[in-house]
Structure formats: C-alpha cells, structure tokens
Structure 1
Amino acid sequence: MKMRICIAGLLWLLAACGNVPTGDEANRPMFAPGHLLNLPHPGDLGRAVEWSQHIIVRHDGEVFAFDGRISVTPDRFRLVGVDGLGRRAMGVTWERSGRVTATRADWLPAQVRPGAMLADIILLYWPADVLRRSLAGSGATLREVGNTRTIALDGVDILRIDYLTGRHSAAGHLKYRNTAWGYDIDVQSIEVAP
C-alpha cells in the first residue's frame, strides 16, 4: 500500500493526464500542458540551500505521500525523491547551462515527468522578478498578494501557492493548487545545512 501511495503521488505530481512523455520530453519544465517555463539559473534563487520535504498530493479524491530532498547551489539544482520504504524513486539534476537530467526507478510509471516537478519547484521558491522573466514567453502572468502567489494564463488562474508560514518562506508549510495538471499539494519543508 505504501509503495502504491508513493508511486501514485509522484505520478500525479509530475504528470498530466495526457500522453506519456518519452526521453528528453519528460525532462522539459512544463508548468501546464503545452506551457514551458523558460529556466532561469539555479543561482537565481539567491542563495545556496538544502531542504528536506514531506509532500502530500491530493488528486481525484485520493491522497498520496512521499519525501524529497532538494539541494540548490549557484551552479546546480538536485532533487531526490524516495518512497515510503526509503527507496530512491527518482533524481533530477538541473545545471546552470539549462541541461536537465533525470534518473528514475524501473518501477515508476512512464508518465512521471521530472521536468514538471522542476517547474513546480521553481514556481514555488524562486523570486518573483526571476519568475516574471521566465514566464514572459509563455503568456503566463505572476501575481503576488500577501502570502499568496498566483499564476494565470489568458486571465485564468491555473496555479495558486499559499505560504502558510510567512511570505514565500521556503522552510515551513505551504499549499499549492495546480488546476492545469489537476492536483493539490501540501508541503512541509525543513531547511538543513548545505
């Protein structure tokens, strides 16, 4: 049951309900179907950091959970995701050059989209001015009011992030709704020493 929960959570966090991506397509940072995020640089976050996260995904009345570890330096972003048994499910590396590579366990569904997870994380944590530049070519707009960040396409909100422990706090608690991919996420993050 735990493995099913972790696999399904990763599936819905990273995948749209559309075609199964292949090869490099799965690594493209899509934040919505057909909408590519122009990658900034990892260093545009503004600091080196490491986070340990517990993620709960809600989709279609089901709840899924898994754990992740994120490391960001000026030149590189790394993500490792593990299932409920502590097995490495996947890893994502994003280089300053813009190159995104991923590894994944054989038991993960083919629909898992590492690039979509990368796009989500950038939209959650990178500064607003960086995101506005990254979204400019996609037609999406970013709005921030208080502790909420919203991204809209054609005037329709598709992403909403509520930072529950302070304005855009990377450590703490946030809730994230992506109507474009159809999921809600609850993230508890702890910043650990880089």
Structure 2
Amino acid sequence: MRLQKIWLALAVILGGCSATASRDDTSAFLAPHLRLDLPRPMEMGRSVEAVQMLTAHHQGKTYVFEAHLSITPDRVLLVGIDGMGQRIMTVTWRDNSVTMESSPQLPKEFQPGAMLADIAVLYWPESVMRKTLAAAGADLVVDDKSRSVSANGKEVLHAEYQSGSSQPWSGGLHYSNLAWGYDIDVVTVQVQQ
C-alpha cells in the first residue's frame, strides 16, 4: 500500500509539468517585436522573496493564480500555482540561461518568457531597465506611481503602482501589456528582505 502511494505521488509530480525548455539565452519578448536582453539577476541589487496573487485579464477571460518569486544574485526563480494548488510553471533565470517548465493548465495566453520581461520592467531598478530598454530601442518613463515603456512611438506596457512606490515589494499594482493584450492586477507580499 505504501509503495502505491509513493508511485501515485511520483506520477502526480512528474505529470504536473509537461513541457520543459532550456536555452543558453537570456532574452525575452516584452512585445511581439521587442526583444529584451534580460538584466542579470544580481543587477536587482538585493535578494527578494515574495508571494504574489495575480488576477489576469485577456480577451474577456479572467485567470487567477499565485506566484512565488525568489531573486538572489545568482538566479531568479518564478513558480506559478493555479487555484487548485497545482504548479503551472517554473522558470529559472540565471546569468546565461533560462529554463522554463509549463503544464498544460497554463493558459496559452500567458507565456513564461513574456512574464520574465514584464517582471524585469516592473521591478528591476530604473537605471538598469532604462539601459536594457534603450539597447532594445525602447524608452522607459518613470514617476512616483508608474512606469511606462514605449517603442516606435507606441506605448507597450503601462504600470500603476497602488502603494505609491515604483518598487513595491509589499502592495499592489495594475499593469497592462498593451502589445500582448493582457492586463494584470498584482498584490505582493515580501516574505524576506
């Protein structure tokens, strides 16, 4: 009986993520024609452990999931969990590679690579992202409560920080990735500084 439980648990774990991709490339698309060379994890300037509740909207559909985000000088780890508690994606971003695992339950509208680009734009220091975006031919505009990215005269991403800070590791934000056609409400709780 115990052996059956172990095999069942192993089958559930192995069946949870069906697609794995690893590449020696740390670029991600913020928009269909806007490829960013992601900054290095250490350029965050500090380590962060956070839990986020995300409510995403795309073409009249709403998706709710939880994200666990761990940032250290060596790597960024993003784990997405659906409302049933199942892991829908795991993304590991290092200086020279990105590994992505996604389950069939991850809506096709939300690509892990695009999420990495969004995370970098939303949370990495302004000076780092200004340089990163300029290299891709895009501009960053920042004020006390928002960040906006434009490319070729069109706004690509716009974020409003509800906590009144452009680096909200505790609080909320609403952002729209206008290029990919989705918007997301994020509530973040930092669990370690």
Provide the secondary structure at the position in 1 that maps to 2:37: coil
| Aligned 1:156-167 pairs, distance under 5 A | 156-167=154-165
Task: Provide the TM-score with structure 2 as the length reference.
Answer: 0.82
Higher deviation after alignment, 97-106 or 33-42 = 97-106
Could you say if the C-alpha distance between residues 106 and 157 of structure 1 is closer, same or farther in structure 2, counting changes exceeding 3 Å?
closer
Which stretches of structure 1, 4 residues or longer, exceed 3 Å deviation after superposition?
A: 106-112
Corresponding position of 1:15: none
Corresponding position of 1:83: 82
TM-align CA RMSD: 2.2
List runs of 5+ in structure 2 lacking aligned partners: 1-20
Distance in 2, Cα, partners of 1:110 & 1:58: 13
Corresponding position of 1:66: 65
List runs of 5+ in structure 1 lacking aligned partners: 1-21
- Asked if the contact 1:39–1:98 (Cα under 8 Å) also holds between the matched residues in 2, the reply is no
| Aligned 1:118-137 pairs, distance under 5 A | 118-137=116-135
- Asked if the contact 1:164–1:173 (Cα under 8 Å) also holds between the matched residues in 2, the reply is yes
Could you say if the C-alpha distance between residues 115 and 170 of structure 1 is closer, same or farther in structure 2, counting changes exceeding 3 Å?
same
Matched positions, count: 172
Structure with the largest fraction of strand: 2
Distance in 2, Cα, partners of 1:145 & 1:109: 32
- Asked if the contact 1:170–1:189 (Cα under 8 Å) also holds between the matched residues in 2, the reply is yes
Deviation at 1:186, TM superposition (A): 0.3
1:50-97 CA distance string (max 9 Å, x none):
1100000112222211111000001110000011110111100001x2
- Asked if the contact 2:79–2:87 (Cα under 8 Å) also holds between the matched residues in 1, the reply is yes
Distance in 2, Cα, partners of 1:84 & 1:185: 16
- Asked if the contact 2:51–2:188 (Cα under 8 Å) also holds between the matched residues in 1, the reply is yes
Task: Provide the TM-score with structure 1 as the length reference.
Answer: 0.81
**Percent identity of paired positions between Structure 1 and Structure 2:** 42
Provide the secondary structure at the position in 2 that maps to 1:185: strand
Provide the secondary structure at the position in 1 that maps to 2:73: coil
Deviation at 1:111, TM superposition (A): 6.2
- Structure with higher Rg: it is 2
Out of 60, 73, 98, the residue aligned to residue 100 of structure 1 is: 98
Corresponding position of 2:49: 50
